[in-house]
Chain A
Amino acid sequence: MARFVGRRLLYLLPVLLAVTLLTFLIAALLPGDLAYTMLGDQATPEKIAALRATMGLDLPIWQRYLHWLGGVLQGDFGRSFRTGETVLSAVADRMPVSLELMVAAEVLGLVIGIPLAILCAVKQGSAIDRFLTGLAFAKLSLPSFMVAILLIYLFAVQLNWLPATGYVPFTEDPLGNLRSFLLPAMTLAFAEWPVLMRVLRSDMIATLQEDYIAMAKAKGLKPARILLVHALKPSSLTLVTVTGINIGRLIGGALIVETIFALPGLGRLLVAAIYSRDFIILQGVVLFVAVGFVIVNFIVDMLYAVLDPRIRHGRA
């Protein structure tokens, strides 16, 4: 196991380095002079030149990268030139909102997706299976912003049960907080369950054909144990991958959903940084999101080894 972890870590390092480089390049190569943006229209060429020198913008690009990377490695991601807020505190501020949304959406998606997948796999080819797989396929073509509109129309406009937008901090009003998260979480979960269900269903159908399932039946085990222990665990590798990828994507906050429902998460922070051309915040958050994605993938790889002992022993 230690060797397995070591090998994956060795691969992780160059990928992370490339991620930092690309992040830096995206922000650095975008048109528009930062010093000019900061000083505004009234800036004199001398002032701009002076600012460029103090910020190190006149250095060659590779020196700027190394300088920036050095800061990042020491935990200094820079600060917004607009608000003066450090990248670290801005991210720390918004992250709980995105995390809460992500966890709620992922749990909801799994709670819907897993039982339906098991049902479909057991009743493969039946009317209910064909209906659910058809529904899941159609759902793949329904983007989340449409689902959001639909849910807002149903639950906020027509029924008036839930707020259409807005965010209530948990510390102020726990129930209101949950209410404000319900529609966005449902929107994301709606996008999740069809994917999770399709993936688990097809893996589960393959597993149910395996000899060891026939063996489990021949041992006289109860059907629930056969399905949940003998079939679900070996079928869940792809499910874990997909869940991991989704979590990785949601680390950056669900950009669209956070915007529609006005949730102050990382996604909104990104959009705001883009609008205000606050490229230091943009750079910091993108780096944070990309690194988070790579690390989540690494954890998923490790989970593989926990789920499937064959990966742990031997053919790593």
Chain B
Amino acid sequence: MAAPRGGRRPGAVLACALVWLALIGCAAIFANLLPLPSPTEMDLLGKRALPDAQHWLGNDQLGRDMLSRLIHGARISLSVGLLAPVIGVTVGGALGMLAGYFRGPLETLTVGGVDVLLAFPPLVFALAVTTYLGQSVLNLILVIGILGIPAFTRVARAVTLSLTEREFVVAARALGATHSRILLREILPNVALPLTAFFLLGVAVTIVVEGALSFLGLGVPPPAPSWGSMIGEGRESLDLAPWLAFLPAVVMFMTVLAFNVVGDSLRALTDPRPGAL
């Protein structure tokens, strides 16, 4: 049971996070239907223009509409952020469950493999692959997704390990259930919640990684807008128009924070240690 003073506030924060995600999500989905100027059309007379009736948030250093770029940027950030961890959660989750359930050489190999993969600087790997294979949203999703596999494997293995000793699994095994039945019916439902929580935290991390790559100019190819590249471009006019960098930074921060809040609330649900104490 939550302590009385801590009980209300996290609920309010969680609600804010969900509302923000819904807002950003809807804007991203319906970006083309919204009455917005083109995100790539330049108005060379309106460089760094202040907000007016037509451009609610002003223009960037090339005279492109900021609001439109922010909303179209949300499409890229959210699609990369949501799709890439799917690779990690499926491959890593399956590997981790198998390793944790069957133990033995399979586990040794998996744990060793995870240790090896984690030794490589992930950003370097992502950079190398995107430069050699070409910058595209699909490549970005694949690379970031594969890089996430070791972390998901670790979580899935740890949860599975603790489950295999529990009574209901032992009982199922004693009753002669097959391995696949135990894995799918007994273990998967219990691994699903912690993995989902970790997935949401993974979304937050992915948005940051995509942002960092785009910030360096190695993510989404220009002129397509992405929050990271907007921050990177805005950095050039930090002295003239600091809001050009700060506006996308705030939007990205809020989105990442919202995913972290939701993921953390979900994790707190699955954590056996009561957070109230």
Which residues in window 104-140 of B have CB below 8 A to A?
A: 112-113, 115-121, 123-125, 127-129, 131-133
CB atoms of A149 and B235 under 8 A apart? yes
Q: Is the CB of A152 within 8 A of B128?
A: no
Report how far A19 CA is from B235 CA in the complex, Å: 37
Residue B131 contacts which of A19, A142, A275 (CB distance < 8 angstroms)? A275
What residues of chain B lie closer than 8 Å to A297, measured between beta carbons? 115, 119
11 further interface pairs, Cβ-Cβ under 8 Å (given A22-B117, A140-B260, A157-B238): A19-B119, A22-B120, A30-B129, A142-B253, A145-B212, A145-B232, A149-B245, A277-B131, A282-B128, A290-B119, A293-B119
Q: State whether the Cβ of A121 lies closer than 8 Å to any Cβ in chain B.
A: no
- What residues on B are CB-neighbors of A152 within 8 Å? 235, 238
Q: List 27 contacting pairs A-B, 8 Å CB cutoff, sorted by A.
A: A14-B112, A19-B116, A22-B116, A23-B120, A30-B128, A30-B132, A125-B3, A130-B6, A137-B260, A143-B212, A145-B211, A145-B215, A145-B231, A152-B238, A153-B246, A157-B239, A249-B121, A256-B216, A271-B127, A271-B216, A274-B127, A286-B120, A286-B121, A289-B120, A289-B121, A290-B120, A290-B121
Residue on B nearest A23 in the bound complex, by CB: B120
B186 at the interface (CB under 8 A from A): no
User: Is B242 interfacial (CB 8 A cutoff)?
Assistant: yes
Which A residues are in CB contact (< 8 Å) with B239? 157
Give A134 Cβ to nearest chain B Cβ, in Å.
Answer: 9
Contacts of A92 in B (CB 8 A): none
B22 to chain A, nearest CB (A): 18
Which residue in chain B gives the minimum CB-CB distance to A205?
B277
Report how far A145 CA is from B249 CA in the complex, Å.
10
Q: Which chain B residues (192-238) contact chain A, with CB distance < 8 Å?
A: 204, 208, 211-212, 215-216, 228, 231-232, 235, 238
The number of residues on chain A lying at the interface, defined by a beta carbon within 8 Å of a beta carbon of chain B, is 45
Contacting residues of chain B (256-273) with chain A, CB-CB under 8 angstroms? 256-257, 260, 264
Do B208 and A255 touch across chains, with their CB atoms under 8 A apart?
no
Q: Give 8 closest A-B pairs by Cβ, nearest first.
A: A141-B257, A141-B256, A290-B119, A252-B121, A18-B116, A143-B208, A293-B119, A30-B132
**Chain B residues positioned under 8 Å from A243 (CB to CB):** none
Tell me, in angstroms, the Cα distance from A18 to B150 when the chains sit together. 15
- A146 touching B123 by the CB < 8 A rule? no
Contact with B along A231-248 (1 / 0, CB 8 A): 000000000000000001
Chain A residues with Cβ under 8 A from B118's Cβ?
Answer: 293
A149 touching B256 by the CB < 8 A rule? no
B115 in contact with A255 (CB, 8 Å): no
**B residues in contact with A248, CB < 8 Å:** 119
Residues of B within 8 A of A252 (CB): 121, 124
Residues from chain B with a CB closer than 8 A to the CB of A275 are 131
A41 to chain B, nearest CB (A): 18
Contact call B121/A32, Cβ cutoff below 8 A = no
Whether B86 sits at the interface, judged by CB under 8 Å, is: no
Flag whether B252 is at the interface (Cβ < 8 A).
yes
- Chain B residues contacting A26 (CB-CB under 8 Å) are 120, 125, 128
Scoring A residues 255 to 286 as 1 if CB is less than 8 Å from chain B, else 0, what string do you get? 11001000000000011001101000010001
Q: A31: CB under 8 A from chain B? A: yes
The interface residues of chain A lying within 8 Å CB-to-CB of B253 are 141-142, 146
Bound complex: CA of A144 vs CA of B128, how far in Å? 21
**Contacts of B128 on A, CB cut-off 8 Å?**
26, 30, 274, 282
Nearest residue, chain B, Cβ from A30: B132
A15 to B115, CA, bound (A): 7
Chain B residues lying within 8 Å of A14, measured Cβ to Cβ, are 112
List residues 152-169 of chain B with CB under 8 A from any CB of chain A: none
Complex CA–CA separation, A256 to B253 (angstroms): 17
Option from B123, B132, B212, B245 in Cβ contact (under 8 Å) with A31: B132
Q: Which residues of B contact A291 (CB under 8 A)?
A: 119
Min CB–CB distance A223 → chain B (angstroms): 23
Q: For A249, what are the chain B residues with a Cβ–Cβ distance below 8 Å?
A: 121
Q: In the complex the two chains form, what is the Cα distance from A22 to B124 in whole Å?
A: 14
Q: Select from chain A the residue with minimum beta-carbon distance to B201.
A: A140
For chain A residues 131-161, which have a beta carbon within 8 Å of chain B? Answer: 137-138, 140-146, 149-150, 152-153, 157
Of B115, B117, B264, chain A has the most CB atoms within 10 Å of the CB of: B115
Q: Check if B249 sits within 8 Å of A149, measured CB to CB.
A: yes
Q: B58-87 vs A: 1/0 string, CB under 8 Å?
A: 000000000000000000000000000000
Q: Which residue on B lies nearest to A294, using beta carbons?
A: B119
Question: Separation in Å of the A85 CB from the closest CB of chain B?
Answer: 19
Question: When chains A and B are docked, how far (Å) is the Cα of A249 from the Cα of B3?
Answer: 38
